[in-house]
Structures are given as C-alpha cells and as structure tokens.
Structure 1
Amino acid sequence: MSDLPITEQENERSRGLDTLTIEDTLALINDEDHGVPTAVRRQLPIIAQAVEGIVGRLRRGGRLIYVGTGTSGRLGVLDASECPPTYGVPAELVQGLIAGGYDACHRAVEASEDDHDAGASDLATRGVTAADAVIGIAASGRTPYTVGAVEHARALGAFTVAIACVPGSAITLAAEVAIVPVVGPEVVAGSTRMKAGTAQKLVLNMISTTAMIQLGYVRGNRMTNMRARNSKLQARAVRILQSETGLDDAAATSALEAAGGDVATAVVMIRTGCAREAAGEALLRASGVIERAIASLCD
C-alpha cells in the first residue's frame, strides 16, 4: 500500500462507504472536500511563480497550452475553452490538449495515456516553441503521455508547469515549476475526479484568471472584453458598459449596438469619440487591451 501514490491509496475514513446512508455519504464527501482549498492555498507562492512565467510568455506573443489525460485533460480543455468568451482573446491563445483527441472529452480513452511519445508528438503538432508556456496536468504525476509532453516542451525551452497531487512524482521533476496540492486519498479509492480534480480546477481557475487580469483583459473586476453572444450575456454587457461609462440603460444599449455588441469596442468609442472601425483597429493593435487602445487614439 505504501508504494502506491497517495492518489491511489485507500482512505481510512471511508472504508465503510458502502454501508452509509445517503446523508452520511454526502457529509463524508463534503468533509473531505473541505481540505482541498487549504491544500491549494499552501501552493499560492508557487502558483504565483507559474503565473509570472506564463504572463511573460504571453506578453511576448506566446501561447498557453494545457496537456493532460482523462479528467485532468478535460479540465484543461474546459479552462482553455472558457477564455475566449470570458476575456475576448483568440482561441489559439489558450489551448487544451487531451490524449485521445477531443473525443476523449466525452468518452474514456484510457489507453492513450500510456504512450509517452504521443504526448511529445501531439504537442509538436501544435508547433510548440520556446515562446510558449505548457502546463502538464496529472493527478498522480506519473501519466506517461503528460510527462512526455512536458519533457518535450522543456527541452525546446518552453516555460513548463506541472499540476499534480503527488509530491516528487515524475511530472514534478520534469517541469520547471511544480504545483502540488496534496489532498490525500479519495473517498472512492483512486477516483481522482473528486478531490484531486477539484484542486486542479481551482488552480487552473487561478492561473488563467490572474494571467488575463495581468494582461489587461479585466478592468476593475469587470469582464470588459467578454463576448455577448446570448441574451444573458448581452444584459451583462450593458451593465458592464453602464459601470464603465456612467451611461443609463438605454444609452448603454444603443452604444453596445453601435459597437456591434462588443463591449471593449463600445468602451473605446465612448471614451475617445471615435468611430467603430477606428476603435476596432486600435484594439487590434493593442491586442485587445482597452487602456492601450484608448491611449493610442488619444496620443
């Protein structure tokens, strides 16, 4: 038992899991989950190092690429897919690479995770270079596919980060920066979609959110670069525009329409008095950063 990574060991507190009532099962799971944020908090200085390295690469035109298998891979794909609608960034800026391809997002493709060379090959297909940042996500820290990808990326000079839940594992040794929230054995032995997956999701949220803030895609605490593509988001966009400019509801709605539904364009138009085309061009030159676009038009 002691030779097993902690993510595979049996949890002493849940040995009688199958004999518990529904309420007691839920309480046990909830009790175990309480320790996850604390484990993540212990890693904050290391997460900060990771964000600094990632932001440095992104500011110089690089990309952030998540790599993983199974639950870990799905979490990476999820986080990457939410960056464009939330922050208005290009889809290629943050990417998720999962063993077995995107089909593995909705069905298990377990065998693919055992191929060390496939991780490197799939990352090479994405054209990874020293300009990029690569995060390998593996609860056990020993998944061959993900370890191979991280080793390949680091050999090229890319900034590499590992997110694992086992100290001293292969991926933590392969990466430049290792984030290791140790959450202990799972309630269901080996089911790392539970506490380990929750810890990984928390860390990914922190990394991508803080990176986007540092890059200028958030003003105050507002998603000023979000894409308003449904009625809920359109209403949110109007509220953001009101907060940014002091316009009333009707005026903010009209301004958003004049900007083609794009909040950032609307803010630049209002703040500078320029036309939609000029605002769009300024934002393009400023990589979508509103303040830089406004400054370029006011020079």
Structure 2
Amino acid sequence: MTNLQERGHLLTEQINPDSQNLDELDAQEIVELFNREDQKAVTAVAGAKLALARTIEETAARLGRGGRLFYVGAGTSGRLGVLDAAECPPTFCTPPELVQGIIAGGASALLKSSEEKEDRREDGEAIIREYGIGSLDVVIGITAGGTTPYVHGALSAAKGEGALTVMMACVPEEQVPADVDINIRLLTGPEILAGSTRLKAGTATKLALNIISTGTMVKLGKTYGNRMVDVAVTNSKLRDRAIRILTDLTDLSRDLASDLLERSGKRVKLALLMHWTGVDQTTGEALLQQHQGNLRVAVHSYKQHKN
C-alpha cells in the first residue's frame, strides 16, 4: 500500500491547474468550472465499465445463492455506501440485510465526522468477523484515495473468508495496488478544491454504486423491463407509482388496477402475474418462488405449460 506520508503524490491529492484561481472567480464562473469538471466523473465511470459489469455478474450470482453485499468505507466513501444500501429496500423490496453499508465509526459517523476512525486497520478486520461475512458474500471497499487502512483491513479479512472482494478507488492501480478479486478505478483526476474527494470522486463513486446495485437487482429479477415491479408500497407516492405501473403494463383502468394491487397484497410483481396468467394469489406466489422471483420467466413458463 502507498505509504501514508506519500498521499500528496496520489491522483486525488494533486492540484488541479484549472482551478488555481478558484477564490477569484465569480459565482457563475464557479458553476461553469464545476460543470466542466463534473463531466469527468461520467468519463471516469465509462473507463471502468468492464470491472463494473464483472462486479454485477458476480454479485448477482452470489446473492442468488443466498449471499449478501456489503459496502465498506470511511468518511464520504462510507456515507455513499450506506446511502446506496439504504435505498435498496424501498426501491427493490429487498430485506435490509441483503445490501448493507458499513462505515468506520458506526452510525454516528453519518452525521458527525469520525475520519480518525479510518486509520484503524484492525477495526476493518474486526467488522468482517462481526458481520459473519463468508464465502457467499461480496465486500466492496470504497476509498477515493485508495489508502484507507480501515478499508484495506476489511478487504483483507473478507478475502481470507472467501468473500468476493472489490476495491473502488479514484487512483490508478500502480499508485495503490490492492489484493482483491476486482479493481474498479474511477480516475476523475485532481479535484477543484485540492484533496476534497467529496466532489468529482464522490460523484463518480455514487454513479458507480447506482450501476452496481441496480444492475445486480435487474439480474436478480427485481425489475420488468425498466419498471420497479418489486417496489415497496409503503406510502401514497409509492402506491400511486404502483398503480401507474399496473395501468401502463395492462389494459386495466386505475380503479381496477387499485383493486388488483390490493388482491395481490400490494405486490406489483404478483399483481402483474395474476393478471397475465389468471392465477390466484397463492398460486402466483408459488410460481414466482419457483422461478426465483423473475416475473418474465414465471409468466413465460406458465404460458408454455398451459399450451
């Protein structure tokens, strides 16, 4: 690992020549500078597309066999991981334990800076044991500058347990190598505010996490086309979305779609299966379970069997 005293040589710590007069810019110039620089975050994600695709494939395979996905990080990186994990249950109706975010310093670090906790490699190792992480699980270590001891400790311990290990960083591998299964390097370059990796690096990290979690859920059958058919109907906004999905994908009126949603136990995927096949709720549940929750496969299988 790069010596901590050499951080100034890291890509994320270098000085951005395009923002050296930052404090002399007016507000519009600042916005224009940020807009130009933020476009580099999208380019950085494109540069890591093969590693991202492999992460999706291998994560979906393990979660499909009963594994879990863990994001591990400190500071901004840790907060982004916790955020992405927290968004999975309402979006895909997943149990909270399926995708989890772990941040150095624990839950209090989400609201109050605990950056000193990131230097404790042994805490990263211990958290892997605490969560009982094993060979079916996936651990994605997130560290913009690549050197965070807490993350390296967690990845090393996870690898020792046979988990799939993924490193997500914004520095090249030659600057900070890591003994992991998959390396995702998001090369966003020097920040507008030197060393402030909550900027471009944070943006690229959030984009990459969006891709990984959404792509994994698609592979697990949590969507139908581009619809959130596993959305949790927990408030009026989500109920309205559920009804709109049903009316868009069927020939039902809003009232009939609302009735179907109730008969399915407020489960959009099951409601669609019931409508398209004519089966009752109990039969539909069994059919989905038989096909690992994949709506398209379940409907196709039922219709083939009927014919």
For the aligned pair, the TM-score class normalised by the smaller chain equals over 0.9
Report SS of the residue matched to 1:271.
Answer: helix
Residues in 1 aligned to 2:7 and 2:156: alpha-carbon distance in whole angstroms: 27
- 1:103 paired to 2:108: yes
Sort the Cα spacing of 1:134 and 1:143 in 2 relative to 1 into closer, same or farther, 3 A. same
TM-score (norm 2): 0.91
Question: In 2, Cα distance between the equivalents of 1:256 and 1:249?
Answer: 10
* Alignment CA distance shift 1:18-1:170 (3 Å): closer
Q: Which residue of 2 aligns with 1:78?
A: 83
C-alpha contact 2:173 2:185 (8 A) present in aligned 1: no
The letter for the 2-side match of 1:119 is: G
For 1:178, the equivalent position in structure 2 comes to 183
Q: Call closer, same or farther: CA 1:172–1:202 in 2, change over 3 Å.
A: farther
Conserved in 1, the CA contact under 8 Å of 2:119 and 2:149? yes
CA RMSD between the two structures: 2.0
Give per-residue Cα distances to partners, 1:17-39, cap 9 Å, x unaligned: 11111111111111111111111
Does 1:20 pair with 2:39?
A: no
Q: List aligned pairs for 1:254-273, cutoff 5 A.
A: 254-273=259-278
Give the aligned partner of residue 251 of structure 1: 256
Gaps of 5+ in 2: 1-5
* CA–CA distance in structure 2, aligned partners of residues 211 and 8 of structure 1: 32
Deviation of the 1:252 alpha carbon: 0.6
Which position in structure 1 is the counterpart of 2:141?
Answer: 136
Work out whether residues 7 and 13 of structure 2, in 8 Å CA contact, stay in contact via their aligned partners in 1: no
**Inter-partner Cα distance in structure 2 for 1:257 and 1:242:** 14
Contact 2:8 2:14 in 1 (8 A): no
Deviation at 1:132, TM superposition (A): 0.7
Aligned residues: 299
Partner of 1:290: 295
Counterpart residue number, 1:200 = 205
| 1:164–1:172 contact (8 Å) kept in structure 2 | no
- 1:255 is paired with a residue of what secondary structure? helix
Aligned to 2:221: 216
Deviation at 1:170, TM superposition (A): 7.9
Q: How far has the Cα of 1:125 moved from its partner?
A: 0.9
2:117 pairs, out of 112, 119, 122, with: 112
SS at match of 1:67: strand
Determine the structure 1 residue equivalent to 2:3: none
Deviations 1:94-115 (A, max 9, x none): 1111111111112111111110
Does the residue aligned with 2:12 lie in a helix, a strand or coil? coil
Q: Tell me the TM-score normalised to structure 1 length.
A: 0.93
Does the 8 A contact of 1:225 with 1:288 survive in 2? no
Letter in 1 for 2:200: K
Matched, 1:225 2:230: yes
Partner SS state of residue 140, structure 2? strand
The DSSP-based 3-state class of the residue aligned with 1:161 is strand
1:242 to 247, 258, 268: 247
